Amino acid sequence: MSALQRSEAIRRARLLDVRSYTVDLDLDRGEEVFGSTTVIRFGCAEPGADTFVQLEAAGFRRAELNGRPLDPGALAGHRLALDGLAAENELLVEAELPYSNTGEGLHRFTDPADGAGYVYATLGPDLAPRLFACFDQPDLKAPFTLTATAPADWTVVANGAPAEHRDGRWAFHPTEAISTYLVTVVAGPLHSVRAEHDGIPLALHARRSLAAELDREAPEIFEVTRDSLDRLHQLFDRRYPFGEYHQAFVPEFNWGAMENPGCVVYRDELLFRSAPTDADRELRAMIVCHEMAHMWFGDLVTMRWWDDLWLNESFAEMLGYRVAAESTRFTGAWTGFAARRKGWGYDADQRASTHPVAGNGTQSVAEAMGNFDGISYAKGASALRQLVAWLGDEAFFAGVNRYFERHAFGNAELADFLAALAETSGRDVRAWADAWLGTSGVDTLRLEVRVEGDTITAVEVVNDGTRPHRIHLGVHDLHGSGPRATVRRRADLPVELGPGARVEVPELAGAGRAALLVPNDGDLSWAKIRLDEDSWRTVTGSLSAIEDELTRAVLWEHARDLVRDGELPPAGYLDLVAAHLPAESAVAAVEAVLAFARTEAIGRYLTPGDRPAALALLGRTADALLTRPGAGHSLRLAALRGAVQSADAPADLERLRDWLAGTGLPEGLDLSPDLRWAALAVLAARGATDETAIAGELDRDRSDAAEQGAARARAALPEPAAKERAWAALFEAGTSNRLLAATADGFWRSGTEELTAEYVRRYFEAVPVGGRRGDRVAAVLGHSLFPRDRATDEVVAATEACLRRPEPTPALRRSLADELDDLRRTVRVRRLQAPGLQTPGR
């Protein structure tokens, strides 16, 4: 196994000019392997030179370079040496490749609902050689022509538009020049829905057992697709460049979606087998817009190398939220960004593994996946919002369009984007980029307020950081008192802050005292905030009375940040949640707050002994939201999910059992399949259900989601035999990506101190080697299965020792290092709460 190094990619790109790929796949060879025959035509700048092609074959049949046979035995480390190149070359490679069950390469899935088989390819930084022989690096682009053989009842979809199909043979038109990581094929007895918009053929596909869900969701997905296409066609000079626009919803997908040109692939949970909230729908709309933005940012113009991943993801992230907010019915999308997306990035930006937005330092494709993180997405998008706030829309999109024009169907780097932007804007964008894209870490913007009586004498905003910020300072007043009080915006003052600056806000000198001042109100920047005392008092007393939902989202995130920094005890956070979440109306904020309260504030920062009382309080909070007069369906569904997940006391578990039996459910709600499985996992962890009940539920529900739900519940059972079976599934090859993740999710939920201590020890013995089964397995074992609630010095030391061992792959190392960071933070936060130690006021 030899991961491609950047230096090798640079050399190969100088040497080769790939003219075309022709790939023929045989998907009708049973469930283990498929046939892959590739013809690559390519030029070579230095005839006589040598290079290598990549392939991960199970059986290697034949290879010929310019008609000369190559020795199949020479394939080593997934590389086949090619020597004596001519000026123009033709390489033929015929091989048999294994299907994957980890969502990496050509994934094969058998639907337990009806036994039907499906395959789809998802490639990413280093997986294309699991589908076809190729020069796998983003800057060797070429047109790609696919043919395929498939079982008679299958439909095959790919990047190119379908050309013809007869008797199980499928042919597709050549694509434009695309990168190898963007190639896909999706096949099986698919259910499809077609439409057309603005001359572009549209299609949606899903497996047969989700036909009803696809038919139900198609109108909304098409509506968002059309809205997004129209908006991007307004913003960009160049129309959608890849012919037809197919969107396939596939099983066991590792990410949210993948932007393959002409054929976007989504996780099929986005078809909502279980009832969704509006926030779930909003998130899906954002993903649809995000993937479409990639057709330009990533697919038309592609980063030259993985260290410029931001050129793909930061732009798609920013446009995903922006287009959803301004052109679809999901006008509150930025609230979701503030409430539940940015935290992912803020956390990443405060770990040792943080990196600049641009130039993330990737030297080898083995490290590339680690940087698909909250920095490349959420922080990059925030940086671009700052750029737009500074330059204005017109100059920004003029630069974007020049960038597309100059690099269409090619590759680019940070400097190329800045050059285009500098030309069209006439501004010093490089200095801006140095500060915003070339540095790591989070700035803190804090307030210093002086008052005399009812009058403000001075307000200063202090930038304790290294970047310039263009923000708004929100000034809010409290009107009325008690439950009818509202906190209403008085003014929204633009503030420009240089690096390290202390800026006085002249508009407020001599003004009446305000109840609440919020730096970065409107959430235009990337920064932690610290409030003055009066403002924090208003937050604790009246957070839910603030009229603006985006302001509330910024403040919920602020409270989360205070907990993580040890400035607000978890109990104080839970009090804030109990006081204000029942009146919150932004569903995305409700979901984010309930999740953080349960898994982090309680599950991580509180010690086990303090958890039952905290879970009881959180359960009462969810109940209060559930029974709030006038609360809409989405809010109540979010609350129901919270109530299920936080059930802990015997009476609450009894209620869960009633709900599962169909009695006593809150008016107008029922337990959808996913919630039934969530409830069973909670009951299992408390020893309040058993294998008979789990098997009975599997009889009712034959889906793959049910199999995952059963795996989670079984792993959660507090019985030695159940733990041992789960452990075997986790550390033996063969378990699919989703069953692995579900088992990991259930594992630590239960067990006596003695039982779990034993597995903590075994974890650190087994994970360095167990995590060598690919990036996905490494992510599950190194992240999902990490014993994160065991925040002791011993576990910190064991993780450090594990990282000193030679076995962990770069992907596993990154997961473990990030968990270690979080564990140290947990130890710090817990120490601050220990009896006898003073805890800060907020």
- Residue 259-298 contact track with Zn ion, rule CB under 5 A, x = bound: ----------------------------------------
DSSP conformational letter for 210: G
In angstroms and rounded to an integer, the radius of gyration of the C-alpha atoms of the chain is 27
Residue among 713, 805, 722 nearest 756 (CA):
722
| Phi, psi (rounded to 5 degrees) for 445 | -110, 120
Distance, in Å, from the CA atom of 464 to the CA atom of 480, rounded to the nearest integer, reads 35
C-alpha distances (whole Å) from 392 to each of 385, 397, 471 are 10, 9, 14
Q: Are 691 and 721 in contact (CB under 8 A)?
A: no
Query: Which residues neighbour 374 within 8 Å (Cβ) at sequence distance 6 or greater?
Result: 341, 342, 343, 344, 345, 346, 347, 348, 349
Q: Are 455 and 513 in contact (CB under 8 A)?
A: yes
Nearer to Zn ion, 315 or 536 (CB): 315
Distance, in Å, from the CA atom of 312 to the CA atom of 411, rounded to the nearest integer, reads 11
Token duo for residue 590? 């409700």
Q: How far is the CB of 290 from Zn ion (least distance, A)?
A: 6
* Angle at 80 (CA atoms; ends 75, 82), nearest 5 degrees: 140
Nearer to Zn ion, 52 or 310 (CB): 310
Distance, in Å, from the CA atom of 509 to the CA atom of 448, rounded to the nearest integer, reads 12
Token duo for residue 790? 């065991």
Q: How far is the CB of 274 from Zn ion (least distance, A)?
A: 25
Q: Are 442 and 465 in contact (CB under 8 A)?
A: yes
Q: How far is the CB of 176 from Zn ion (least distance, A)?
A: 19
Nearer to Zn ion, 313 or 373 (CB): 313
Q: Are 491 and 475 in contact (CB under 8 A)?
A: yes
Nearer to Zn ion, 298 or 468 (CB): 298
Q: How far is the CB of 435 from Zn ion (least distance, A)?
A: 25
Distance, in Å, from the CA atom of 95 to the CA atom of 676, rounded to the nearest integer, reads 45
> What are the helix (H) ranges across 546-690?
549-564, 570-580, 587-596, 611-626, 633-646, 650-660, 673-685
The active-site residue out of 291, 584, 600, 707 is 291
Token duo for residue 383? 């940086």
C-alpha distances (whole Å) from 203 to each of 243, 292, 300, 547, 610 are 12, 14, 21, 41, 52
Distance, in Å, from the CA atom of 256 to the CA atom of 264, rounded to the nearest integer, reads 11
Q: Go through the chain and tell me how many residues it has.
A: 842
Residue number with the smallest Cβ distance to Zn ion = 316
Nearer to Zn ion, 313 or 443 (CB): 313
DSSP reduced 3-state for 734: coil
Q: How far is the CB of 255 from Zn ion (least distance, A)?
A: 8
Distance, in Å, from the CA atom of 74 to the CA atom of 45, rounded to the nearest integer, reads 24
For residue 398, count other CB atoms closer than 10 A to its CB.
Answer: 18
Q: How far is the CB of 257 from Zn ion (least distance, A)?
A: 7
For residues 317, 334, 551, 387, the Cα torsion angle rounded to the nearest 10 degrees is 50
Span 450-489, contacts to Zn ion by CB under 5 A: none
Q: How far is the CB of 265 from Zn ion (least distance, A)?
A: 12
* Angle at 598 (CA atoms; ends 595, 603), nearest 5 degrees: 130
* Angle at 330 (CA atoms; ends 327, 332), nearest 5 degrees: 110
Buried b (16+ CB within 10 A) or exposed e, 520-554: bbbbbbbbbbbbbebbbebbebbbbbbebbbbbbb
Q: How far is the CB of 375 from Zn ion (least distance, A)?
A: 14
Q: How far is the CB of 309 from Zn ion (least distance, A)?
A: 9
Nearer to Zn ion, 51 or 260 (CB): 260
- Is residue 504 among the annotated active site residues? no
User: 249: phi > 0 → left, psi -120 to 50 → alpha, else beta; which?
Assistant: beta
Count of residues that interact with Zn ion, criterion CB under 5 A:
2
Residue among 259, 310, 260, 261 nearest 416 (CA):
310
Nearer to Zn ion, 307 or 313 (CB): 313
Nearer to Zn ion, 285 or 495 (CB): 285
Nearer to Zn ion, 313 or 818 (CB): 313
Distance, in Å, from the CA atom of 817 to the CA atom of 453, rounded to the nearest integer, reads 51
Q: How far is the CB of 620 from Zn ion (least distance, A)?
A: 39
Q: Can you state the angle between helices 793-804 and 810-833, rounded to 10 degrees? A: 160
For residue 24, count other CB atoms closer than 10 A to its CB.
Answer: 18
Nearer to Zn ion, 60 or 266 (CB): 266
Q: How far is the CB of 240 from Zn ion (least distance, A)?
A: 17
Nearer to Zn ion, 320 or 566 (CB): 320
| Phi, psi (rounded to 5 degrees) for 747 | -60, -50
Measured between alpha carbons, how far apart are the two ends of the chain, in Å?
51
Q: How far is the CB of 833 from Zn ion (least distance, A)?
A: 39
DSSP conformational letter for 28: -
Q: How far is the CB of 316 from Zn ion (least distance, A)?
A: 4
Token duo for residue 762? 């075994």
Nearer to Zn ion, 294 or 552 (CB): 294
Nearer to Zn ion, 313 or 704 (CB): 313
- Residue 301-340 contact track with Zn ion, rule CB under 5 A, x = bound: ------------x--x------------------------
Distance, in Å, from the CA atom of 471 to the CA atom of 447, rounded to the nearest integer, reads 13
Q: Which residues are catalytic?
A: 291
Site residues (CB under 5 A) for Zn ion?
Answer: 313, 316
